[in-house]
Amino acid sequence: MFKLWATLVKDFRILTRDRVGLTLMFIMPIILVIVITSIQSSTFELVNDNKVPLILSNRDNGKASQELIVAIKEMGMFEISETKEDFNEKEIADFMHKKDALIAIIIPKDFSNKISLKAKDIAGKALNEFGVTEETGESPKDLVDPLTLYYHPVLQESFRYSIQGALRSALQIVESKEILQTLYFSLNEKELPKGLENEIINNQIPINEIPVSRDGSRNIPNATQHNIPAWTVFAMFFVVISLGSSVVKEKLSGSFIRLKTLPTSYFIALISKQISYLLVTLAQVVVIFSIGVFLFPLIGLPKLNLPSDLVGLLIVSLISGWCAISYAIAIGVFAQTQEQANGFGAVSIVILAAIGGILVPSFAMPESFQVLMILSPLHWCLESYYGLFLEGGTLGDIIMNLIPLLAIITVLQIIVLLGLKRKNLV
Amino acid sequence: MKAISIKNLSFQYSGQKDLCLDNLSLEVLEGERFGLFGPNGAGKTTLMSLMTGLLTADHGSIELLGHNVSHNKKCINKLFGFVPQDFSFYQDLSPLENLEFFGAWAGLKSEEIKKRSIELLDVLGLTEVGDKQVRRFSGGMKRRVNLAIAVIHEPKILFLDEPTVGVDVQTRHAIVNYLLELNKKGTTLVYTSHQLSEAESLCEKVALIDEGKIIAQDTLNGLLSIHHQDRLEGLFLNLTGKAYRDS
């Protein structure tokens, strides 16, 4: 036990004197988590909180176009700037850049008149079906000219579709109102009462939106809840730079020769390294999570809400940290030089992070990558954290994510032992 | 009693055509100061590595104080200390911290380590820098730290692979005197160096090794007398030739 204690003390002394290693293990992930959360938070806000800037050019002077504008305004989704009605395509583009607008809509000339004609045509057909009136003849095709929608190329396809859907809904309201008014007038020879119109047009069945969580909490996922766990996992695995090169350094330096001539197994050194770096990874978790909880609200970012199962959180952190350490030691045992350990270690972590869903969400990956994803230990760490942070789960809910992680740890430890055995070190 | 007994030892590095050590036999008695000399590539460091268990022999046997090196490594490793040619410690730690760690690995208790560390730092002139990081030390100071770590557990046999390379006259003098002191207390010294004048003052028995074989072995005075030489350097050149040994 004294040998292990002496080795732990030695490892901690070397670790705390390695300023570059400490910077990489603590400062770099802190910077990463703040920068990326800030960037993603503004994207989240753009989609969730902010209104989408929209430029509207109305070339029509009728009632229907005004009603369409009101319907668009009432959606609350857009921040509307109206332009001169005779803007051409180039002027629209320039105006969009100047106003920083993401979309522009042109309501064509004679829009209201043609909507009215179309409504009359449909109402006529309906009345004819009921046998109230006689056939009015062939209905004109493509009665209403289309609305023109310009969009900024940065706009994601899914976001564009949701804007299109919102506009269609506004158009539907205008068209339905026009048809309803025409029908009512034809039947009663008087205007449709406002109250009835509102009841028919605006009386839609409401939709309740609830984020799904296991613990029943109603926390809306934000950039902080996504990024803090993701970049904590990344930081944990980045100990490969410090630990991997520390193993290589020890292997290449004279101290290793001396260790081999002393009556103590190298297992002690391995256990000590695992314990000391496990404490480092736990310290990373505490530091990064504390930044999310205490610092983020002070700098205008969403606060990190810790999961209700704190024991589960500790166990996930311990297993994730142990997996990161096992990977780093495996790299250190097989690398011939520090450059190899650092280079391969860093590049492999970035690749594993990419296929593990840290850099790009896993659902956005091609199917072939989703197969590879299960090989990345970072994926299982991330899924375990997301189970706690985003889904409000407990340890029992994420156990199936921890089993693959434990399997990966076992394989890595066996690889390390085989490597040391081959080098006659254990 | 024999401190070291080597019988018919052969060793070949993988991928090399020639044997590095070829059927070599050697004996060192307890309490002797034994020098192992030879040109570059003769096989001295390989022989040292085999005696300390860092390498495993292809053929033959090595015994330290009656224990076979390849059978009971844990027991064997308590018997000897090793001063490798390279600095074999953690440069980010102080001498005291290095002694604390390596002392524990050598099997000493905390109290013993403290006592021995104070003694060693004192005798090797390192007390004032005992808590400073070794990284900033001069070559001579690092050599003394290297030696202190090797003897913290008071080994019965001390292997020294060029322990004074690159040091000034004062440090060399201090190290040689300390080694003589250790030997007086019963420690067997097995020493290799290219500093032949230093070897003359330290070694009482020598073996000359060349191309993996021992070409001469006796007391220093005996060898000088047989080969009609008055200095070890003359004897060395007489037996191994003057041609470069770079390959």
Quote the pLDDT of residue A236.
92
* Continuous segment of H or E residues that includes residue B132: none
Angstrom distance (rounded) from CA B239 to CA B247: 19
- pLDDT tens for A354-398 read 888 888 777 667 777 777 888 899 999 999 998 888 888 888 888
Quote the pLDDT of residue A347.
92
- A206 inside domain: no
Which residues of chain B does A18 touch, with a Cβ-Cβ cutoff of 8 Å? 92
- pLDDT tens for A124-151 read 888 787 776 665 555 555 667 788 888 8
A320 pLDDT band, cuts 50/70/90, is: very high
Contact indicator for A124, A136 with CB cutoff of 8 Å: yes
Angstrom distance (rounded) from CA A257 to CA B161: 13
- A246 inside domain: yes
CATH of residue A185's domain is: 3.40.1710
Mark yes or no for CB contact B90/A258 under 8 Å: no
Tokens in use for B234? 């003359």
Contact indicator for B210, B179 with CB cutoff of 8 Å: no
Helices A310-334 and A338-355 pack at an angle, to 10 degrees, of 140
Q: Per mean pLDDT, which range of A101-110, A169-178, B198-207, B236-245 is the poorest?
A: B236-245
Q: Please name the residues in contact with A216: beta carbons below 8 A apart, sequence gap of 6 or more.
A: A392
A184 and A294, same structural domain? no
- A212 inside domain: no
- A261 inside domain: yes
Quote the pLDDT of residue A142.
61
Which residues of chain B does A17 touch, with a Cβ-Cβ cutoff of 8 Å? 92, 133
Residue type, A111: F
Which of A201, A225, A256 is where one domain is finished? A201
A333 and A237, same structural domain? yes
- A208 inside domain: no
- The interface pTM score, or ipTM, of the predicted complex is 0.87
For the cut 60, the answer to whether the pLDDT of residue A215 exceeds it is no
3-state secondary structure of B225: helix
Mark yes or no for CB contact A262/B93 under 8 Å: no
Q: Distance, in angstroms, between B201 CA and closest chain A CA?
A: 27
A146 and A284, same structural domain? no
Mean of the per-residue pLDDT values for chain A? 83
**Number of structural domains found in chain A:** 2
* Continuous segment of H or E residues that includes residue B101: helix B95-105
Quote the pLDDT of residue B142.
92
A308 and A369, same structural domain? yes
Q: Distance, in angstroms, between B57 CA and closest chain A CA?
A: 13
A401 and A252, same structural domain? yes
- A209 inside domain: no
For the cut 90, the answer to whether the pLDDT of residue A98 exceeds it is no
**CA A289, chain centre distance (Å):** 18
Quote the pLDDT of residue B187.
93
- A345 inside domain: yes
Q: What is the mean predicted confidence (pLDDT) over A159-166? A: 81
Quote the pLDDT of residue B109.
93
A387 and A272, same structural domain? yes
A191 and A98, same structural domain? yes
Quote the pLDDT of residue A385.
92
Angstrom distance (rounded) from CA B40 to CA B59: 23
A197 and A324, same structural domain? no
Tokens in use for A219? 């926390």
Quote the pLDDT of residue A93.
79
Q: Going from the N-terminus, what domains does chain B have, and what CATH number goes with each? A: 2-240 (3.40.50.300)
Residue in chain A closest to B73 (alpha carbons) equals A263
Contact indicator for B192, B117 with CB cutoff of 8 Å: no
Angstrom distance (rounded) from CA A386 to CA A41: 17
Quote the pLDDT of residue B245.
66
- Is pLDDT larger for residue A136 or for residue A229? A229
- Is pLDDT larger for residue A160 or for residue A4? A4
- pLDDT tens for A258-279 read 888 888 888 898 899 999 999 9
A225 and A170, same structural domain? no
Angstrom distance (rounded) from CA A78 to CA A167: 11
Spell out which chain A residues touch chain B, with contact meaning CB-CB distance below 8 angstroms.
Answer: 2-3, 5-7, 9-10, 13-14, 17-18, 253-255, 257-264, 268, 424
A186 and A56, same structural domain? yes
Q: Distance, in angstroms, between B53 CA and closest chain A CA?
A: 7
Residue by residue, pLDDT tens for chain B (247 residues) are 889 999 999 999 988 888 888 889 999 999 999 998 888 888 888 999 999 888 888 899 999 998 988 887 778 888 999 998 888 899 999 999 999 999 999 999 999 999 999 999 998 989 999 999 999 998 889 999 999 999 999 999 999 988 888 888 888 888 888 999 999 999 999 988 887 777 888 888 988 888 888 888 888 888 888 887 878 777 777 777 766 666 5
- A70 inside domain: yes
Tokens in use for A334? 């097989």
Environment class of B208 (CB within 10 Å of its CB; exposed 0-12, middle 13-18, buried 19+): buried
A259 and A175, same structural domain? no
For the cut 70, the answer to whether the pLDDT of residue A247 exceeds it is yes
Tokens in use for A278? 């496990």
Most confident of A211-220, A318-327, B63-72: A318-327
Contact indicator for B188, B157 with CB cutoff of 8 Å: yes
Q: What string of H, E and C letters represents the secondary structure of chain A?
A: CHHHHHHHHHHHHHHHHCHHHHHHHHHHHHHHHHHHHHHHHHHHHHHHCCCEEEEEEECCCCHHHHHHHHHHHHHCCEEEEECCCCCCHHHHHHHHHHHCCCEEEEECCCHHHHHHHHHHHHHHHHHHHHCCCCCCCCCCCCCCCCCEEEECCCCCHHHHHHHHHHHHHHHHHHHHHHHHHHHHHHHHCCCCCHHHHHHHHCCCCCCCCCCCCCCCCCCCCCHHHHHHHHHHHHHHHCCHHHHHHHHHHHHHCHHHHHHHCCCCCHHHHHHHHHHHHHHHHHHHHHHHHHHHHHHHHHCCCCCCCCCCCHHHHHHHHHHHHHHHHHHHHHHHHHCCCHHHHHHHHHHHHHHHHHHCCCCCCHHHCCHHHHHHHCCCHHHHHHHHHHHHHCCCCCHHHHHHHHHHHHHHHHHHHHHHHHHHHHCCCC
Q: Which domain holds residue A258?
A: 2-44+217-422
Tokens in use for A12? 């901690």
Quote the pLDDT of residue A61.
82
The vertex-A359 CA angle with A353 and A361, nearest 5°, equals: 105
A378 and A235, same structural domain? yes
- pLDDT tens for A287-309 read 999 999 999 889 888 888 888 88
Mark yes or no for CB contact B104/A17 under 8 Å: no
